[in-house]
Amino acid sequence: MTFAEIRERAVAEWEVMERSGKPRILVGAATCGRSAGALDVLQTINAELAKRNLDATVIQVGCIGLCYIEPIVEIAKPDRPRIFYSGVNADIAVQLIEDYLVNDNPRPDLALGALGEGSLDGVPQLFDLPMLQPQVRVTLRNCGFIDPEDTNHYVVRGGYSGLARALQMTPEQVIEEMKKSGLRGRGGAGFPTGTKWEFCHRAVGTPKYLICNADEGDPGAFMDRSVLEGDPHAVLEGMLIAAYAIGASEGYIYCRAEYPLALERLDIALRQMKELGLLGDNILGSDFSFHIKVKEGAGAFVCGEETALMASIEGKRGMPRPRPPFPAQSGLWGKPTNINNVETLANVSAILERGGDWYAGYGTEKSKGTKTFALAGKVTRTGLIEVPMGIPLRQIIYDIGGGIVGDKAFKAVQTGGPSGGCLATDLLDISVDYESLTAAGSIMGSGGMIVLDEESCVVDVARYFLDFTQKESCGKCVPCRVGTKQMLDILTRITRGQGQPGDMDLLLSLGQTVNQGSLCALGGTAPNPVLTTIRYFRHEYEAHINQKRCPALVCLDLITFYILPDKCQACMICQRSCPVDAIKGGKKLIHVIDQSKCVKCATCYEVCPERFSAIVKVSGETIEVPEEPIPLGAEE
């Protein structure tokens, strides 16, 4: 089939659906929606429609990125704007069917936003919502709006026109278009995509391979999963364009097995592509042939590193090897290979569709385009966002993220996952682009963004990330295998109150050895969380080491719970809740915590009625309390 025929058929089928007059119900049922109960909602909707004998089209769509209010359901009725409802459960779903589908009351009270022509009183436009308004969605252009299992939906929204355009160009022209766009690798390293393709294009050897790196491993990053689940064709089209540009005939998608839904969607999409002549020999009637295999990764963080990834595809242990030779010269099975990340490839299809100049219109001088971020942690609105490069960090956290939960104070933001760093308050106004983040000691990485508030201990956060990298080290090179372990031991000691003077200097010096000596980027960047927290939060380390005090009251060995005798009303709630019977006391006897038994689970702290607030959590200080329970009122 030619592209014109594919497009014609898609548009025709889309119009049939539009004109059918049937309401459409779109349920956000990506992994995030499902974990919030989207499948229950879906089941309820289907059952309710059957029970009432209503005719409606129900579609599972991907995630629009508003993770904090999943599950999200969109209802589109003819001659009405499309209305998005958030936090839908089975009850609300039944109400929506009853009220909106049957009685035509769109329930503005439950609606989150509206989209399309027309408006609804009291319901804002979806893209005017504070979380969505500053966003520019390129990678995520279709996520949550199309049926990822129906190629027609993708094609109707412009899909595969980028490929069709690329096939009219020479590979060199496609590479030139990529260079013009300024796109840089979204997997973390930020290498210019066009240049990378050019290396592989010029390399001698056949066959050439194109690999899509979908081994997303950073804790807290989920953009690749979301794109594969919500818009797999965007990535696959990007793969075809990249393969055409470099001259690859074989492709692999290395996707982690922990993403079953993404794998399923990929499987369906690949089957559809073959049926439409978008994959295999002579794609869209051209001379270009390309085949794709999916390789499931077994869940090793290091396999996201390109040389380890290729070793894993070859059936070997996933361990990085030094470069040179670079994959473009000698990659998979010794052949020229190009590896791009999921997000990069999803951008590629958009760039070829709309032009390199259009893409380069976003972003900064050296960091063009848009970038997705997985906004998580202590921020009010968590989710998956996409913003133009160069946006101030503050705008992401406060405008899009809605600031810190519970109006607590912002402390730091960790960007780039375990390879990145913690940035403090005075860096809130830096521009989010490759250069600025690197200059601040962090990295862009794959786009994890974890916000910490005043109740988070940065030493503990650094310890957490180092624990992760230490465990995920492949063990091959000495600095990464041993150095991260040594640094972790020191950090653990500090969080346990056994820090020694000089520990910070030792950490800095070990961190430098690990950074300079490691074989791959896993080890090379592993010290970043420690180095940046020492750089920006030296006083917190000093408090832990010198005063044995955790200012954020997090490190268990450094905090103590006390029951204030003048506030305790001997209600016995805490005593009954204590899991280790560490609270002594009784009726009309004020309670006392036996510190030798206390495991610092904070249960008492949480259950003590607010009107008493008799339990305090302190660090680095001792509060004088009776050793044994004394009668209520006796202390006065």
Partner 1 sequence: MMDIAKLTIDGKEVEVERGATVLDAAAKADIYIPTLCYHPDLTPFGACRLCLVEIENMRGFPPSCTTPATDGMVVRTSTEQLQGLRQGIMQFILTEHPHPCLTCHRLEHCKPFDICLRHVAVTERCVLCPKNERCELQQVARYLKLSEITLPYESRELPIERGDPFFDRDYNLCILCGRCVRICQEVRGLGVIAFTFRGHQALPGTAFGRSLKDSDCHFCGACVDVCPTGALIERAGRWYTLPEREVVTTCPYCGVGCQLKLEIKDERIIRVIPQRDNSPNWGQACVKGKFGLDFVHSPERLTSPLIKENGQFREATWDEAMDIVTGKLSQYQRGTEFAAISSAKGTNEENYLVQKLARAVMGTNHIDHCARL
Q: Provide the binding-site residues for partner 1, judged by CB under 8 A.
A: 300, 302, 317, 319, 321-322, 324-325, 470-479, 481-486, 506, 509-510, 512-513, 516-519, 524
Amino acid identity for residue 381 in this structure: R
DSSP state letters, 448-460: EEEEEETTS-HHH
- Rounded-to-integer distance, Cα 189 and Cα 187, Å: 6
Centroid of chain to Cα 417: 10
Torsion of CA 62, 65, 70, 71, to 10 degrees: -20
Nearest Cα neighbor of 347 from 338, 360, 365 is: 360
Percentages helix, strand, coil for the chain, rounded to the nearest 5?
45, 15, 40
Nearest Cα neighbor of 277 from 580, 562, 522, 1 is: 1
Beta partners for residue 358, in sequence order? none
DSSP state letters, 176-198: HHHHHHT-B-TTTT--BHHHHHH
> Residue 370: what are its φ and ψ, rounded to 5°?
-120, 165
CB atoms within 10 A of CB 30: 31
Among residues 516 and 546, whose Cβ is nearest to partner 1?
516
Beta partners for residue 295, in sequence order? 254
Query: Is residue 306 within 8 Å of 187, Cβ to Cβ?
Result: no
Nearest Cα neighbor of 462 from 546, 552, 397 is: 552
Q: Which long-range contacts (CB under 8 A, 24 or more apart) does 125-128 make?
A: 126/84
Angle of CA points 505, 508, 509, to nearest 5°: 85
Amino acid identity for residue 543 in this structure: A
Spatial CB neighbours of 510, under 8 Å, sequence gap ≥ 6:
483, 486, 487, 490, 527
Query: Is residue 56 within 8 Å of 46, Cβ to Cβ?
Result: no
Query: Is residue 97 within 8 Å of 368, Cβ to Cβ?
Result: no
**Alpha-helix residue ranges (DSSP H) falling in 277-394:** 306-313, 342-354, 356-360, 393-394
Query: Is residue 397 within 8 Å of 410, Cβ to Cβ?
Result: yes
Query: Is residue 302 within 8 Å of 318, Cβ to Cβ?
Result: yes
